[in-house]
């Protein structure tokens, strides 16, 4: 039998008609959704579609990675900016009823844009208006709405007490919703662990539209959302955290070294020292090669929970090679140290911490690794060769964050975040660029990642959830996802905790409503669900 042929014109008409049908179906979905929502509450001041004049500015306001801000990037059919948690259950119920998916955004630093991009018709819940923080200094706790930023949390704590703090990240405009739900590392992790280690309650809207706290959600779900990616399980609207003690005076310093100033040898030595220092002393390394300056710089950046006079003899005993002197150090309050670590002048007004405008958005790609055995010095020199092979106009960064201390004491199954004892440090790669063409920069990022393979963790090669990396594998979000498919990346983020996350997901969201390219799937045993 002769196979029928299709003329180019017919094929074009078919493609046009299919595209029109898909667009028409999507329009039907979102019109049905809007009609459903209008029956639930007055949504006029929190609902935006592409026809609203504010739609584009609201969508782009929190985007940090410009790779996901192009005209061709899929956009939400509807953006919801709830002003109260009671407005979220109807959104979930109407999305389920009308066949739309949900994405939830709290801050926008999402490295792969999964909180505001989808390949299927979707609604984005932007939690920017849920940003209230209530601090109880006497009880040493705080309730933090999920749309608040890390900087605003620090500021509200300092308003109540100069000797309380919280062990979260240094990038101050990150939303706490994503930060807490993925783990949340920072400069006090060796003393106190992660942000997620200090979450003691939460409020989540589940797949049935119920608003649950720790008691009503149960310990399994409460375990899962602290480091397992809360977006797989529902919409967390608020977190209760326990605060930590900080001294009235802390010390910060930065020591910059170039390759010509022995940076390679100092980095090599740091690997043996930094994870074993006193818990009060945290020394990170930021390695930089800027497009405007081909020199490779290594900055040793530190927070010490104590005064200069205690720090200096400690450094002379433990890391004399760095050559730290009093002039390198600044003694200040803990709240001012967060400004310093966040890149602001240390004497800047603390009110800057309330600013949530994204600093210098650019095109970027991030990857991460965990190092369990010191990298040989010749291999560190090989990293510089990789830097020099990169695209000329890209800004290249490597961050090295030491482990040990409290991080090695917490069980790797206490929360889903599993990267504890046995890790010397966390290793992150970032490339940022200005022009829209991404291919060369993405290729460089992947080459460096491949180069590092012999020197980082294995079986699995681990990665940090909050530095999402779709190169590790994706779910089939349009259709069904198998356990085997998801475990490719799931074991890297969660190691042995992945299976328990799947069981929790199956229990609380059996039909896999809350999903994205790297969400926890429902079901197990390899079959499609």
Reply yes or no on whether the pLDDT at 257 is more than 70: yes
C-alpha span between 445 and 439 (Å, rounded): 10
C-alpha span between 13 and 342 (Å, rounded): 54
Contact (CB, 8 A) for 269 and 323? no
pLDDT value of residue 40: 84
Query: In terms of pLDDT, which residue wins out, 2 or 51?
Result: 51
pLDDT value of residue 312: 98
What would the mean pLDDT of 390-416 be, rounded to a whole number? 92
pLDDT value of residue 26: 53
What would the mean pLDDT of 487-495 be, rounded to a whole number? 97
With pLDDT > 90 as the criterion, what percentage of the chain qualifies?
84
**Confidence grade of residue 178 (pLDDT, cut at 50, 70, 90):** very high
Q: Half-sphere exposure of residue 395, counting CA atoms within 13 Å on the CB side?
A: 12
What would the mean pLDDT of 170-182 be, rounded to a whole number? 97
User: Would you kindly state where each structural domain of the chain is located, as residue ranges?
Assistant: 23-127, 133-245, 250-332+362-455, 483-491+498-529
The DSSP secondary structure of 376-431, one letter per residue, reads PHHHHHHHHHHHHTS-TT-EEEEEEEE--GGGGTS-TTSSS----TT--EEEEEEE
pLDDT in tens, 323-371: 999 999 999 999 999 999 999 999 999 999 999 987 788 999 999 999 9
Q: Find tokens 């104590």 and name the residue.
A: 306
pLDDT value of residue 525: 37
Tokens of 91: 């959104």
Handedness of CA 189, 194, 197, 200 (dihedral sign): positive
**Confidence grade of residue 391 (pLDDT, cut at 50, 70, 90):** low
Candidate CATH numbers 3.40.47.10, 2.120.10.30, 1.20.1250.20, 3.30.465.10; the one for domain 133-245: 3.30.465.10
Out of 79-88, 110-119, 233-242, 430-439, least confident range: 430-439
pLDDT value of residue 27: 58
Q: What is the pairing mode between strands 122-126 and 78-80? A: parallel
Read off the DSSP letter of residue 77.
S
C-alpha span between 179 and 108 (Å, rounded): 11
Q: Find tokens 């375990």 and name the residue.
A: 223
pLDDT value of residue 394: 83
The CATH code belonging to domain 250-332+362-455 is: 3.40.462.20
Read off the DSSP letter of residue 528.
B
- Annotated catalytic residue 467: yes
Q: Which residues pair with 244 in a beta bridge?
A: 165
pLDDT value of residue 392: 60
Reply yes or no on whether the pLDDT at 510 is more than 50: yes
What would the mean pLDDT of 154-171 be, rounded to a whole number? 98
What would the mean pLDDT of 167-191 be, rounded to a whole number? 97
C-alpha span between 118 and 105 (Å, rounded): 13
| Nearest Cα to Cα of residue 228 among 210, 208, 202 | 202
Candidate CATH numbers 3.30.43.10, 3.10.129.10, 3.30.300.30, 1.10.10.10; the one for domain 23-127: 3.30.43.10
pLDDT in tens, 196-240: 999 999 999 999 999 999 999 999 999 999 999 999 999 999 999
Q: Which of the following is catalytic: 467, 483, 493, 494?
A: 467
**Confidence grade of residue 15 (pLDDT, cut at 50, 70, 90):** very low
Out of 283-292, 407-416, 497-506, least confident range: 283-292
The DSSP secondary structure of 454-466, one letter per residue, reads GGS--SS----TT
State whether residue 307 is helix, strand or coil. coil
- At 454, phi and psi to the nearest 5? -70, -10
pLDDT value of residue 311: 98
Number of neighbouring beta carbons within 10 Å of residue 96: 17
Radius of gyration for the chain, computed over Cα atoms and rounded to the nearest angstrom: 24
Number of neighbouring beta carbons within 10 Å of residue 313: 9
pLDDT value of residue 526: 37
What number of H helices and E strands is found in the chain?
15, 18
What would the mean pLDDT of 256-262 be, rounded to a whole number? 96
- What mean pLDDT, rounded, does the chain reach? 92
pLDDT value of residue 360: 81
Contact (CB, 8 A) for 62 and 103? no
| Nearest Cα to Cα of residue 433 among 443, 424, 421, 422 | 443
Residues 6 or more apart whose CB falls under 8 angstroms from that of 26 comprise 77, 121
pLDDT in tens, 25-66: 455 668 999 999 998 877 778 999 999 999 999 999 999 999
pLDDT in tens, 463-473: 999 999 999 99
Task: Give the CA angle between residues 397, 401, 406 to the nearest 5°.
Answer: 165
How would you classify residue 173: left for phi > 0, otherwise alpha for psi between -120 and 50, otherwise beta?
alpha
């Amino acid at each position: 039998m002769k196979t029928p042929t299709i003329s180019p014109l017919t094929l074009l008409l078919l493609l046009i008609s299919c595209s029109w049908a898909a667009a028409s179906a999507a329009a039907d979905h979102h019109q049905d959704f809007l009609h459903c929502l209008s029956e639930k509450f007055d949504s006029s001041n929190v609902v935006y579609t592409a026809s609203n004049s504010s739609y584009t500015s609201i969508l782009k306001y929190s985007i940090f990675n410009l790779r996901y801000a192009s005209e061709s990037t899929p956009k939400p059919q509807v953006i919801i900016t709830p002003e109260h948690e009671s407005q979220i259950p109807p959104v979930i119920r109407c999305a389920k009823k009308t066949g739309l998916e949900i994405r939830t955004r709290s801050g926008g630093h999402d490295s792969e844009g999964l909180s505001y991009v989808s390949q299927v018709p979707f609604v984005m819940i932007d939690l920017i208006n849920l940003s209230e923080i209530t601090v109880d200094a006497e009880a040493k706790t705080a309730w933090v709405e999920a749309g608040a930023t890390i900087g605003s949390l620090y500021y509200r704590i300092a308003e109540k007490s100069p000797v309380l703090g919280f062990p979260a990240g240094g990038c101050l405009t990150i939303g706490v919703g994503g930060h807490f739900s993925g783990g949340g590392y920072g400069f006090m992790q060796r003393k106190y662990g992660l942000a997620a280690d200090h979450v003691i309650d939460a409020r989540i809207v589940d797949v049935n539209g119920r608003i649950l706290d720790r008691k009503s959600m149960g310990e399994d779900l409460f375990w899962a959302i602290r480091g397992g990616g809360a977006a797989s399980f529902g919409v967390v609207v608020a977190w209760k955290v326990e605060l930590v003690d900080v001294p009235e005076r802390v010390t910060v310093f930065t020591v910059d070294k170039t390759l010509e100033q022995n940076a390679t040898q100092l980095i090599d030595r740091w690997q043996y020292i930094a994870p074993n220092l006193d818990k009060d002393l945290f020394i990170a390394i930021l390695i930089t090669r800027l497009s405007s300056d081909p020199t490779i710089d290594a900055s040793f950046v530190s927070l010490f929970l104590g005064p200069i006079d205690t720090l200096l003899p400690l450094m002379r005993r433990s890391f004399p090679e760095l050559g730290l002197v009093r002039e390198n150090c600044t003694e200040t309050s803990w709240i001012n140290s967060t400004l310093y670590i966040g890149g602001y002048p240390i004497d800047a007004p603390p009110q800057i911490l309330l600013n949530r405008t994204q600093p210098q958005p650019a095109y970027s790609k991030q990857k991460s690794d965990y190092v369990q055995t010191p990298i040989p010095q010749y291999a560190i020199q090989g990293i510089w060769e990789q830097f020099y092979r990169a695209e000329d106009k890209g800004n290249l960064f490597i961050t090295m964050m030491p482990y040990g201390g409290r991080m090695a004491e917490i069980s790797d199954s206490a929360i889903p975040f599993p990267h504890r004892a046995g890790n010397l440090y966390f290793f992150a790669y970032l490339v940022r660029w200005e022009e829209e063409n991404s291919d060369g920069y993405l290729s460089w990022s992947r080459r460096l990642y491949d180069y590092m393979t012999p020197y980082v963790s294995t079986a699995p090669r681990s990665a940090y959830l909050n530095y999402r990396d779709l190169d590790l594998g994706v779910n089939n979000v349009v259709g069904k996802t198998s356990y085997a498919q998801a475990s490719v990346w799931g074991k890297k983020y969660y190691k042995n905790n992945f299976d328990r996350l799947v069981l929790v997901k199956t229990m609380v969201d059996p039909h896999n409503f809350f999903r994205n390219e790297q969400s926890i799937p429902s079901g197990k045993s390899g079959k499609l669900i």
